[in-house]
């Protein structure tokens, strides 16, 4: 009996030691300690052992089982460690590999142009303000010295919400809203969407954007207007840019002008960009009309000011030499991702 147990023990331990995976170890467990296992068989034979020897043999069987179980547990741990290490090795991440490309959106040409205007004018101390897109007739026309029967009001093809409310046709009403606040001096820039009932084509859209400028203080003169806008043109189109002011008419400014810049493409010699003239029209401007001041509660004898209105699309189309305004609104990513 003793020898038999010894043999079972040695053989089991040897098998355990030479097993190289957990499945094999399990097989051994079944073969030795299982219901029909070798050691179990020995236990079954206990009934043939003499009564006085039973405790001793029992103890021996137990020792054998414990020894085998301990060995098995030790091996199980070792194999589990090996298996885990192997798993980690297989799952290793090479952090030096290039990652998947992340696609980020592009800024719209209008956004880029607007940010450029902010950079220039905020740098000169202007504050950015906004006004409503749905606007009272009063702010859009009347307070800007465009009375009901004024031909300029006919010229503006306006979307009417009702008799008194329109979709603003210009950002100029923000001037009035700012003046009404009564906080002087004013140096403001008002960007925003405007609406006109135009047909869509390469140069027209029923909805586009303007950026309004307004400066009001004591002793502001046309020289301030010229100096400011000449500096703006240089910042936007380059140091060599020249400006030219042509007399014009706007009801809310007196005198009024349109400003041209020397063509940044040909330098003024004449090309396709400037249609051969060497000059490109860029904005409308003028000295704030005394009537506009009075209507907004500012004394025109004490304060003067200048205003300007820039078409944002005009700037982005010129800057990127885009020849069709519709491209700016279609949001075709093949177009947009160029910027």
Of 226, 156, 164, nearest in space to 197 by CA: 156
For tokens 């290793």, the residue is 92
By CB under 6 A, residue 304 contacts ligand DAH: no
By CB under 6 A, residue 136 contacts ligand DAH: no
Cβ atoms within 10 A of the Cβ of 35, count? 7
By CB under 6 A, residue 232 contacts ligand DAH: no
One residue of 8, 72, 282, 307 binding ligand DAH per CB under 6 A:
307
By CB under 6 A, residue 172 contacts ligand DAH: yes
> What pairs with residue 283 in β-bridges?
259, 310
Tokens of 239: 């140091």
By CB under 6 A, residue 305 contacts ligand DAH: no
- For ligand DAH, the closer CB: 27 or 224: 224
Tokens of 93: 């991440």
The CA radius of gyration of the chain, in Å to the nearest whole number, is 44
Going by DSSP bridges, is the β-strand pair 127-128/186-195 parallel, antiparallel, or unpaired?
parallel
- For residues 105 and 100, give the distance between their C-alpha atoms in angstroms, rounded to a whole number: 16
Q: Do 39 and 8 touch, CB atoms closer than 8 A?
A: yes
By CB under 6 A, residue 253 contacts ligand DAH: yes
Interface segment toward ligand DAH; rule CB under 6 A; list 74-82, 116-124, 292-300, 307-315: 307-315
By CB under 6 A, residue 284 contacts ligand DAH: yes
Q: How far is the CB of 94 from ligand DAH (least distance, A)?
A: 59
What DSSP state is assigned to residue 239? T
One residue of 12, 285, 298, 322 binding ligand DAH per CB under 6 A:
285
- For residues 42 and 237, give the distance between their C-alpha atoms in angstroms, rounded to a whole number: 101
- For ligand DAH, the closer CB: 178 or 212: 212
By CB under 6 A, residue 211 contacts ligand DAH: no
Q: How far is the CB of 187 from ligand DAH (least distance, A)?
A: 14
Q: Which residues bind ligand DAH (CB under 6 A)?
A: 170, 172, 212, 250, 253, 284-286, 307-309
């Amino acid at each position: 009996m003793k020898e038999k147990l010894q043999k079972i023990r040695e053989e089991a331990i040897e098998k355990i030691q030479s097993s190289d995976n957990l499945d094999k170890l399990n097989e051994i467990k079944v073969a030795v300690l299982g219901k029909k296992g070798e050691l179990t068989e020995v236990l079954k034979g206990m009934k043939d052992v003499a009564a006085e020897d039973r405790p001793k043999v029992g103890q021996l069987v137990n020792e054998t089982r414990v020894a085998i179980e301990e060995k098995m547990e030790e091996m199980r741990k070792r194999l589990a460690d090996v298996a885990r290490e192997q798993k980690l090795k297989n799952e290793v991440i090479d952090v030096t590999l290039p990652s998947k490309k992340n696609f980020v959106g592009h800024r719209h040409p209008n956004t880029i142009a607007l940010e450029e205007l902010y950079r220039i004018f905020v740098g000169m101390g202007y504050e950015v303000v906004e006004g409503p897109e749905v606007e009272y007739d009063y702010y859009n026309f009347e307070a800007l010295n465009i009375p009901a029967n004024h031909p300029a009001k006919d010229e503006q093809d306006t979307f009417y919400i009702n008799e008194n409310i329109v979709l603003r046709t210009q950002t100029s009403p923000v001037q009035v809203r700012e003046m009404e606040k009564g906080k002087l001096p004013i140096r403001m820039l008002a960007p925003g969407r405007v609406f006109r009932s135009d047909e869509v084509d390469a140069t027209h859209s029923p909805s586009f954007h303007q950026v309004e400028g307004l400066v009001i203080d004591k002793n502001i003169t046309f020289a301030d207007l010229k100096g400011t806008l000449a500096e703006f043109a240089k910042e936007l189109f380059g140091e060599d840019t020249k400006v030219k002011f042509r007399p014009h008419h706007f009801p809310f400014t007196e005198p009024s002008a349109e400003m041209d810049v020397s063509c940044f493409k040909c330098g003024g010699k004449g090309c396709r960009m400037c249609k051969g003239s060497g000059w490109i029209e860029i904005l409308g401007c003028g000295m704030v009309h005394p009537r506009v001041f009075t209507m907004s509660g500012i004394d025109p004898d004490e304060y003067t000011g200048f205003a300007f209105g820039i078409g944002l699309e005009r700037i982005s189309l010129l800057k990127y030499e885009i020849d069709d305004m519709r491209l700016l609104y279609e949001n075709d990513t093949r177009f947009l991702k160029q910027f």
